[in-house]
Structure 1
Amino acid sequence: MYNRILSMLIALITCQVLFAQHKELAGFSKGFTPNEVGKRLAYHFVDNKHEFYDRYIHYAEVCTWNGALDYAVRAKDNKLIKLLVDKFEPLFSYEKELLPPMNHVDYNMFGSLAFKLYEITKDERYKKIGLAYADSQWELPQNAKRIEKSWADKGFSWQTRLWIDDMYMITVVQGEAYKVTGDRKYIDRAAKEMVLYLDELQRGNGLFYHAPDVPYYWGRGDGWMAVGMPNLLRMLPTDHKDRPRIMEGYLKMMQSLKQYQRPNGMWNQLIDESDFWVETSGSAMFTYGFIIGVQEGWLKASEYAPAAKKAWLAMIRYIDSRNNVTEVCIGTGKKNDKQHYHDRPRNAGDFHGQAPYLWCSAALLEE
């Protein structure tokens, strides 16, 4: 009886603490509430045409679609949910050729969208598509290159390439597969990959190189880690062997990001370069990392909630009258050249920016 009462008290205290932490991330004025912002961007996405990577659905569109779905579910907007589901339906038939091939991290992450739609609709067609994308990341093709075989022999995905982008691209589809199936192999795959990338790319200051041979802290590149780690930590069983290592990497990164946050609340295109321009997609991803950490109790609310709110308020000012996020760095491959990152063009409405804004909107609506 005593142990039962003690457990109940601990649970009650935990709920009170989490409620207080969520309250720290509320109280936004009109025009800045997550519901308003999410609605603007999600309905704008519905009206957009597909964006292509070669001739296939672009991964940035998938990220935005995922964000719009998360927002719609949290906002309990059934009309929006239906519109987002209907947007996918042609991909089962006359738009089927737009489905990405299963031969690259950027393509395979499409499976995450199918899994999210399955969770909402329970339509087995989505689950079948999602599993094909998730499983093919670990199924070595016959024409695999030597380096791809090497990664597979070590138990990693043959699509491993040690670009920081991968720690959203790989972990999102494997994590969603775990949520849908309950099969531990999927979460084990995601965690194993994450530890590899932490060991190879995270530097002493908590930030990440774009790749081992590119020693620059590119905003959106680091953003993929800032989103991938907390999302994975939320799914990892508490007793998972890799959880402490991933939590260590996450906390180290968040501490560093807090130090590099600009006075205006944002972060720069190269995080540690004060004379570089403010970039919105990376800033939104870092804000998301703060939000989740505060909500889960991993980050001290008194320190990180004000930083998250400051960033959120700054972010919204970069949305134009057409509901396009501005100052978004276009898709950027790795290059060992500082000027390369400085000179990247900036787009308004680029899905790379629309997506993390929606992720933040959905996260701030969590109860």
Structure 2
Amino acid sequence: MVKLELAEALKQTADRIYAYMLDDHTGNWGLDIGHWDWVPGVGVIAILSYYEKLEQPEVLDRLVRWTADNLHQAERQKVINSMAPFAIFPELYRRTQDSVLLETARRIADWMLHEAPRTREGAWEHTVTENASFPEQVWADTVFMAVLFMARMGRLTGDMAYISEALRQLELHLELLQEEASGVLFHGWNCIAQNHMSAARWTRANAWIAVGTPMILEELAGTATIPEAITTRYVRLMQGLIGYQRADGLWPTVLDREDFYPETSGSAGIACGIRKAVRLNLLDPANLEAADRALEGVLKTVLPTGEVTGVSGGTPVMPSIEAYNAIPQYPTLYGQGLVLMLLAEAIEVK
């Protein structure tokens, strides 16, 4: 009975978060789902996860409508960071058999394979829609925003070029960003300067790969041999992250700075990653204790309206570690989305 009551409580919270995401937030950068970029992209990826767990037809209908309403904007935003929305196309194609989805996804995947800017190591350069340039920089964000889509295209089509590229990019990002001593990740890598810039162990950067890696490996299961370096580095990452967890279950916005504010989106992403990794036998079930404590802490940040609080704003690689603590907090689709994904992973459905 307790488990059933908990599942229902989590579902109700997830429903409120989802509804808040669909409210009219026109003109609000963090919450406006009616445009094409990484922020709404994380939102729709999370909504798809929510749909896949609960199979509510109206949720799928909403995703199909969102795609139809916003697809015309996609080709104008050909940068790695705005690839995120395409990650829902393979599953929507399976469900609808709409050939436009498959044709568009193939065209974008081929652009990523052959034309997207790369660093000298071969990693995708982190390009953005904002008026900013980060030449030859590798960011952790790219794994969730772009590599996930490539993996899903590999699974859908069986195209080994897509599959191999997804694995290559995941391995490169782990190799270039991981700190050997702690196992956790730095926010970014500058291939020109050959350094990690401010060398911030930013929590949400770690979360993108913590949750993105098991999602990618689940897509590619049975399609190719997974390099041992990926699984070894991922386990070290997750063990390192759990070591930085605060007593309240959350993680500070920079992992090794417990005096910095606790950050909800990164905490939710890490906890979701733990749950997914345990389910896929990448991590020992004993690690669920950390995920449970995080879930308890994250739930306290959700208002009765469904708004997720304690989410740090958009964050490039900052010039100093202290600057991360000055990033303002406000509700965002990626904050809503990462919490929604955590709840979808935690809900037990009979």
Same fold (TM over 0.5): yes
Residue 241 of structure 1 and its aligned partner are, at CA, apart by 4.8
Of the three residues 257, 260, 272, the one matched with 1:288 is 272
| SS in structure 2 of the partner of residue 197 of structure 1 | helix
Alpha carbons 1:210, 1:221 under 8 Å: kept: yes
Alpha carbons 1:100, 1:108 under 8 Å: kept: no
Check 1:102–1:188 CA distance in 2 against 1; reply closer, same or farther (3 A cut): farther
**Distance in 2 between residues matched to 1:284 and 1:221, nearest whole Å:** 12
Residue 317 of structure 1 and its aligned partner are, at CA, apart by 0.9
Residue 108 of structure 1 and its aligned partner are, at CA, apart by 2.2
Counterparts of 1:86-235 in structure 2, within 5 Å, are 86-92=65-71, 96=72, 98-99=73-74, 101-140=76-115, 148=117, 151=120, 156-157=123-124, 161-204=137-180, 205-211=182-188, 212-235=196-219
Residue 188 of structure 1 and its aligned partner are, at CA, apart by 0.8
Check 1:100–1:287 CA distance in 2 against 1; reply closer, same or farther (3 A cut): farther
Calculate the TM-score normalised by the size of structure 2.
0.85
In structure 1, what residue type is equivalent to 2:323? H
Alpha carbons 1:46, 1:83 under 8 Å: kept: no
> Is 264-273 or 100-109 further displaced after alignment?
100-109
Which residue of 2 is the match for residue 246 of structure 1? 230
Which residue of 2 is the match for residue 4 of structure 1? none
Flag structure 2 segments of 5+ consecutive residues without an equivalent. Answer: 127-135, 189-195
Which residue of 2 is the match for residue 342 of structure 1? 325
Residue 157 of structure 1 and its aligned partner are, at CA, apart by 4.2
Flag structure 1 segments of 5+ consecutive residues without an equivalent. Answer: 1-25, 142-147
Alpha carbons 1:66, 1:116 under 8 Å: kept: no
> Is 104-113 or 28-37 further displaced after alignment?
28-37
Deviation per residue, 1:162-221 (Å, 9 max, x gap)? 111112122111012112212121121011111111221100201111112231111111
Deviation per residue, 1:309-361 (Å, 9 max, x gap)? 1111211110112211101000001123122101000002x112111112112
Which residue of 2 is the match for residue 144 of structure 1? none
Percent same amino acid among aligned pairs?
Answer: 23
Residue 222 of structure 1 and its aligned partner are, at CA, apart by 1.1
| SS in structure 1 of the partner of residue 259 of structure 2 | coil
Deviation per residue, 1:233-284 (Å, 9 max, x gap)? 2233458454311111110011111111111111110011110110000000
Which residue of 2 is the match for residue 332 of structure 1? 315
In structure 1, what residue type is equivalent to 2:74? L
Which residue of 1 is the match for residue 239 of structure 2? 255
**Distance in 1 between residues matched to 2:243 and 2:118, nearest whole Å:** 40
Alpha carbons 2:41, 2:82 under 8 Å: kept: no
Alpha carbons 2:80, 2:145 under 8 Å: kept: yes
Which residue of 2 is the match for residue 272 of structure 1? 256
Alpha carbons 2:269, 2:338 under 8 Å: kept: yes
In structure 2, what residue type is equivalent to 1:170? A
Which residue of 1 is the match for residue 336 of structure 2? 354
Residue 366 of structure 1 and its aligned partner are, at CA, apart by 6.5
* C-alpha RMSD of the superposition: 2.6
Alpha carbons 1:111, 1:134 under 8 Å: kept: no
Which residue of 2 is the match for residue 13 of structure 1? none
**Distance in 2 between residues matched to 1:364 and 1:150, nearest whole Å:** 37
> Is 244-253 or 124-133 further displaced after alignment?
124-133
**Distance in 1 between residues matched to 2:61 and 2:35, nearest whole Å:** 23
Which residue of 2 is the match for residue 364 of structure 1? 346
Check 1:283–1:87 CA distance in 2 against 1; reply closer, same or farther (3 A cut): same
**Distance in 2 between residues matched to 1:255 and 1:112, nearest whole Å:** 28
In structure 2, what residue type is equivalent to 1:279? E
Which residue of 2 is the match for residue 78 of structure 1? 57
Which residue of 1 is the match for residue 19 of structure 2? 43
**Distance in 1 between residues matched to 2:324 and 2:137, nearest whole Å:** 20
